[in-house]
Amino acid sequence: MELSKQYQTENQTGTLPKKGFDFKDFFQLITQSKSVLIGGAFVLVVVICAIFAPVISTHDPYEMNMSERLLTPMEDGHILGTDQYGRDLFSRIIYGARVSLEVGLVSVVLAMVIGVTLGLISGYYGGWVDTLIMRVVDIFLSFPVLLLAIALVAALGPGIENVILALGFVYWTNYARIVRANVLAIKEEEYIQAAKTIGSNDFRIIFLNILPNCLAPIVVVATLGLGTAIVSEATLSFLGLGIQPPESSWGWTLAFGMKFIREAPHLSVYPGLAIMFTVLGFNLLGDGIRDLTDSKLKRN
């Protein structure tokens, strides 16, 4: 009874019990992690390039000039040279950052919404609901993720919207499993039992009491998932199933560059480096956040 009264008082004043992870203290620790700082710097550069692409780019990324095709870096004012159609490679890579980040962010959000929702439902209700959702997860995990994404895009057709749908649809399982595991532990806590005692409905308990305590692993998975989604988009575009020309895409630019790998290797090198450093940035950022999360949870 005392626990129920305490919870009711805290609930009325808008304060919930602090369990497991203090985000305020966590963000103060970020500056102490070299991985987070280096990864964050890489990601920040890519984000700035995407936002200010019209300002940073030196040429129109879609303007063709066959008289300037396959120019080498720094030739005739082209920082990274030109492609087989005479388009400025530096400008196309800068605009390609927009496509990669858009696909990565939206597909991760879509996967997160699906996976987190199903994970919360599965872990909280248990029983046949948990069994059904987890068997669906097992079925999805039995397929190679990239092959499943290729199959979905091939069925839906190429294009940025279909790539986002395909990637969101194949990567939701990671969120579902991690959230379910956390919910199974959290729902046995005393403050959750107190919330049930005072008559809080399931929706309030799940989204106001349980979900906030699952945010730390969700943030880690989402950060690492951004890098995976960017690589997957580049792979689909490389195979001709993703972003279609004349839209600028790192994977598509890399695929075209492979045809001229001997006479103009810069067409493949620079898009490849853009993909590498972007994915490296998200991976370092995710690894750093995971390390900080684990160390903080161990202290608590």
Contact 202, 121 (CB under 8 A): no
212 belongs to a structural domain: yes
Q: Specify if 104 maps to a domain.
A: yes
Report the range of poorest mean pLDDT among 28-37, 38-47, 173-182.
28-37
Q: What is the pLDDT of residues 90-103, one digit of tens each?
A: 999 999 999 999 99
Domains held by the chain: number: 1
Structure tokens at 194: 């107190």
- Residue 47 in any domain: the answer is yes
Query: Tokens for 273?
Result: 């480096």
pLDDT tens, 83-139? Answer: 888 899 999 999 999 999 999 999 999 999 999 999 999 999 988 999 999 999 999
In a domain, 1, yes or no: no
- 245: CATH: 1.10.3720.10
**Residue 292 is assigned to a structural domain of this protein:** yes
Distance CA 134, CA 184 (A): 13
Do the domain assignments include residue 279?
A: yes
Q: Is residue 53 part of a domain?
A: yes
pLDDT digits (tens, 9 = 90+) for 152-197: 998 988 888 999 999 999 999 999 999 999 999 888 888 888 888 8
Per DSSP, helices labelled H in the chain are: 2-12, 23-29, 34-51, 53-56, 89-125, 127-141, 145-156, 160-170, 172-186, 190-197, 202-204, 215-238, 250-258, 266-299
Q: How far is CA 177 from CA 104, 117, 128, 169, 246, in A?
A: 21, 11, 16, 15, 39
**Of 204, 203, 180, nearest to 132 (Cα)?**
180
Domain assignment of residue 19, yes or no: no
Say if residue 246 is preceded by a cis peptide, omega within 30 of 0. yes
pTM for this prediction:
0.83
Inter-residue contact 260 to 14 (CB < 8 Å): no
Q: Which domain holds residue 246?
A: 35-299
